[in-house]
Structure 1
Amino acid sequence: MVRRTRAEMEETRSTLVATARKVFSECGFADTSMDDLTARAGLTRGALYHHFGDKKGLLAAVVEQIDAEMDSRLQAISDSADDAWTGFRSRCLAYLEMALEPEFQRLVLRDARSVLGGASPEAQRHCVESMQRLLDELIEQGVVEDTDSEALASLIYGSLADAASWIAEGDQGSARLARASSAMELILRGLLVPSS
């Protein structure tokens, strides 16, 4: 038996994730056969089983990749903002806007929710911790009312995640985005320290 190098194994894994991302986006998780997916990747079912266990494990890897990309996009919004509050607010609203992106909508908000039960605990924890760091900064600057930043981050994250799923349902996405964005603006204004 020929042993594969680490680089070859990583290339196989990357090929499977890239192919699955494309096929799942086009067809949806439920309508994608493992035989079609591995054939399109030019690999065997054994490679899929070895790296991911099953199709569900492959979906989890695809969602993890999309989550990492979204996190980078949101971080870039925070980093490029004129001030911490503008960055935080823009980041929250951008997350809602992502709910209209077909790949995010289908793979993260629909398939991952129905197949995997939603975001992994690690992904949720990462999002809450990231948001908590931003809120800690805003509280320290006296922009946001002094409160438990972990609890506040959990509440905002939960609101955003549920609103994004609501936006992705049905064919009223754009109208729902406008309504959710307006409501989120109201919630966020309530965090601010009243100006004297």
Structure 2
Amino acid sequence: MVSKTRAQMVEDTKAKLIKAARKAFATKGYQASSMDDFTAEAGLTRGALYHNFGDKKGLLQAVIDQIDAEMLVRQRAAQAEGKTPWEGFMNEGIAYIEMALEPEIQRIMLLDGPAVLGDPSQWPNQTACLRTSTQTIEALIEEGIVKPMDAEAAARLINGAALNAALWIAAADDPHAVHEKAVDAFRHLAGGLLRSEA
């Protein structure tokens, strides 16, 4: 039997804690989840949690980073299904908005995350998303699909619209009804960037 390296053991410990925290945050919410929930579920000590994440807030950030990476993969897949570059761009934004209907994403990413970690538009993952959106809009401008404008400004506004739509859906009494209205309005807003119908 091959023994694990220290690095592998650290990664295993982190993965167990993230999995346990993700389950607790999704079912109980951040406030009602205790560090004892995570450590008992993972079969680890509080010391392991403190050592790897600092505190419960650090663990929430790690869970959000994991979910965000999964969401990004799903958005890229939606983008790839577009028949045109514009359709791909729209698919990506709408996929993000639609994920706000999922209970785990609602609770962790859109309700507890902002309450604990602050404005999600300032999170590191949003910065990376903004860069990608800016590059996409630059390419759409070069192809003559989108009107000439400042690509970063357009990306910030489109990303902000998608984020705020998702936050609205997550906080709504009837998320599905809000989702339909939000997607429709998002399409109209984003369509204003087009030179002509694409």
Is the TM value for this pair above 0.5? Answer: yes
Task: Give me the whole-angstrom Cα distance separating, in 1, the residues matched to 2:196 and 2:101.
Answer: 33
Q: Which residue of 1 aligns with 2:51?
A: 50
The one-letter code of the counterpart of 1:75 is R
Aligned length: 192
Q: Distance in 1 between matches of 2:115 and 2:86?
A: 34
What's the CA shift string for 1:128-154, capped at 9, x where partnerless?
A: 111111111111110011111011101
Distance 1:134 1:45 in 2: 44
Opposite residue 180 of structure 1, the aligned amino acid is A
Runs of 4+ in 1 over 2 A off after TM superposition: 118-121
In structure 1, what is the equivalent of residue 163 of structure 2? 161
Give, in angstroms, the shift of residue 59 of structure 1.
0.2
Q: How much does 1:157 deviate? A: 0.8
Letter in structure 1 aligned against 2:167: S
Structure-2 change in CA distance of 1:38 and 1:118 (3 Å): farther
Q: Could you say which residue in structure 2 is the equivalent of 1:147?
A: 149
Deviation at 1:80, TM superposition (A): 2.7
- Give the distance between the partners of 2:123 and 2:24, measured in 1 at CA: 26
**RMSD between aligned alpha carbons?**
1.2
Q: Which residue of 2 aligns with 1:194?
A: 196
Deviates more, 1:53-62 or 1:15-24: 15-24
Greater CA drift, 34-43 or 72-81: 72-81
Structure 2 gap ranges (5+): none
Match of 1:23 in 2: 24
Using the TM superposition, give the Cα deviation of residue 162 of structure 1 relative to its aligned residue in structure 2, in angstroms.
Answer: 1.1
The unaligned stretches of length 5 or more in structure 1 are none
Comparing 96-105 with 75-84, which one deviates more in the overlay?
Answer: 75-84
Partner of 2:112: 111
Identity among equivalent pairs (%): 45
Describe the SS at the equivalent of 1:29.
coil
Question: Hey, what does 1:129 align to over in structure 2?
Answer: 131
The aligned amino acid for 2:111 is R
Match of 2:186 among 177, 184, 191: 184
Q: CA deviation at 1:121?
A: 3.2
Report the Cα offset of residue 98 of structure 1: 0.7
The superposition leaves residues 174-195 of structure 1 with CA deviations (integer Å, 9 ceiling, x where unpaired) of: 1111111111111121111036
8 Å Cα contact 2:94-2:183 kept in structure 1: yes
